Each structure stands twice: as C-alpha cells, then as structure tokens.
Structure 1
Amino acid sequence: MSIASFAARGAQIYTCIAGEGGPVWSAAKPDADLAQPDGRVVGRHFEGPTWEIQDGSRVVGSVIDQAPAPQPHAVAWLMLSARATGSGMLAGTRYVLRSDTDGGEKPAGGCTPGQTVRVPYTATYTFYR
C-alpha cells in the first residue's frame, strides 16, 4: 500500500575517482528537495540513500532492483528495500520506488580525479508499507 509520493528536484552528484583502467565517475549521491503535489517542499533526499521529512520521519534504502529509464540521459528507475525511523508520515515504510526520472545520468567521457559535477534531475519517489 502506498503511503506517500513526492516529486524530487535536485542533482545527482558524481566525483571522479581512480579506477583500474583510469579515472571514472563514482556512483551518484543525491541532493534533492521533496515536494508534495501542491509544490510545497516537505523534505529532502540525500546520500544513503536517505529521505527525510520535516515531521522527523526518515527512510534509508537499499537497491533491490532497477530498470533503465524510458527517457534518454535519465537515471534508472529503482526499487529499494527500506528501513524507516520516526513516527511521522514515512513510519512503516518497507519499500521505495524511484520512477518518472528525467536527467541525472553520469557524464559521458573522461574526468580528472577529484573533479565533482552536479547533474540536475527530477524523479518521483513513492513510499510503500
């Protein structure tokens, strides 16, 4: 059962790291606001991945499945298992779905170790019990 859905707007942050074959972009770290359908920002999404709502509830997720986004240059759609804390809106969350993504894909081409880039993205995050 869905308990909440939020529109996310922000960036996927990539850092260039040394890889076996040369420098590569790291896995993304999100930095986004979470908004209700009326546009009111009620929380944030950040590294972990973690979602935190202003009522104090928090969810930390772990990817269990993914599918390529239908939009070109968009981050994948994800299904995550979740661990919720707090007694607010997200209490009892067991799964999170990231869908409707636009943008956020890691840069194409090479990089210089230590270089960081913020790639704008939007998505919908739906929380399930």
Structure 2
Amino acid sequence: MNNKKLLGLACTSLIAGCLLAPVAQAAMELPESVKVPDGHKVTLETVGKGEITYECRDKADAAGQTEWFFVGPKAVLSDRSGKQVGTYFGPPATWQAQDGSKVTGTQVAVAPSSAGNLPYQLVKANPAEGSGAMSGVTYIQRVALKGGVAPAAPCTSADKGKREVVSYQADYIFWAAK
C-alpha cells in the first residue's frame, strides 16, 4: 500500500474516532446504573435545550411542609450541527422526531451529576408510535447536563400554586438493539 492510501486510512480512522468519541467518552464516564445494557447501539444523539416547570405544592409525606414539584419539561431537540430534529415534552415524558414518530418511556435509573444540574437518567422506551427516527428505540440516556434543578426561590405555604420555570440543557442519546 502506498503512503497516500495509508495516510487516507489513518485520516478516515481518526475522523471516525473523533465522531464516536463523545458517545464513547460519555458512556465510559457514566455511573453503572445509567449505562445501557450490552447489545444496543446509538441510533440518534440530540442536544435538548429548553425549560422545566416546577410548582410549589404540599409535600406528599410531610403534613404542613411544601416543596417544589416537577410539573414537566419542554425542549427543542437538535442534532450536533444545531438543526432541530424533534421536541421533548411531558408528562408523560415524550420524545418526538420531526417525522412525527415518538416514544415515551419508563425511568429505569438516575444517578447524581454535578451540583446544580439534573441527574443522569436512563429510560426504557416503550414501542414507538409512528414509523421514523424513533422506530426501534429501546433506551434513552440523559447526559451532559446543565441546570434544570428546582428553583432556589422559597416554597412556603404562602407560595402554594406558584410556578417557576428554569432553563436546562441535556444530551439525549437514543439506543436500539443491535
């Protein structure tokens, strides 16, 4: 093989490695509880940017106490180049592609991320509705988190019913069986 071909193969391998590095890197650094089981492959990577609504409510298990309660998310899902490929909303947690296909899911696990950010999350997807980008998705991971935690504003009995919206960003990685 000549030097040009060897250089071409090396460059191709380097580019492929760089494109897969974010997934491989993220998968290696995640806590075990939120890793996708063996036998699955990444089918779609998105960046979700949006907001989460919280409401001040009575604590379910503590009479007379209040807390910020997660009401639901609303985010735009974009590919790595910034092009919108779908939306995320709830409840129930729903990821919908631009082609109309969508999935909901059941949370399998969460694990702490860094302070001030939502936790990592692993969701087992229900069968997709419609055919398209979400067809065959079996798991969804939430990683690379920025913000989204309950407001720092007080939540007292006088604040019950008050809603606060916080910004967040997260990568949603969609997996399917190999």
From the two aligned structures, give the one with the greater helix fraction. 2
Q: How many positions carry a matched residue from both structures?
A: 128
* Counterpart in the other structure of 1:38: 81
Note the C-alpha offset of 1:124. Answer: 0.2
Residues 1-129 of structure 1 aligned to structure 2 (within 5 Å):
1-19=41-59, 20-47=63-90, 48-69=92-113, 71-83=114-126, 84-108=128-152, 110-111=154-155, 112-129=159-176
Contact 1:16 1:25 in 2 (8 A): yes
Unaligned 5+ runs, structure 2: 1-40
The 3-state SS of whatever aligns with 1:39 is: coil
Q: Say what the alpha-carbon RMSD is for the aligned residues.
A: 1.2
Q: Write the deviation string for residues 35-93 of structure 1: whole angstroms up to 9, x where unpaired.
A: 01110112110011110011011010111101101x32000000001112111011011
In 2, the alpha carbon distance for the partners of 1:61 and 1:55 equals 19
Note the C-alpha offset of 1:109. Answer: 5.4
Instruction: Name the aligned partner's letter for residue 96 of structure 2.
Output: E
From the two aligned structures, give the one with the greater strand fraction. 1
Bigger relative contact order (CA 8 A; separation at least 6): 1
In 1, the alpha carbon distance for the partners of 2:154 and 2:116 equals 17
Give the 3 Å change call, closer, same or farther, for CA 109–117 of structure 1 in structure 2. Answer: closer
In 2, the alpha carbon distance for the partners of 1:101 and 1:63 equals 17
Instruction: Name the aligned partner's letter for residue 91 of structure 1.
Output: S
Instruction: Name the aligned partner's letter for residue 116 of structure 2.
Output: H
Contact 1:28 1:106 in 2 (8 A): no
Contact 2:52 2:70 in 1 (8 A): no
Larger Rg: 2
State the identity as a percent.
32
Note the C-alpha offset of 1:28. Answer: 4.5
The 3-state SS of whatever aligns with 2:171 is: strand
In 1, the alpha carbon distance for the partners of 2:86 and 2:162 equals 28
In 2, the alpha carbon distance for the partners of 1:120 and 1:21 equals 29
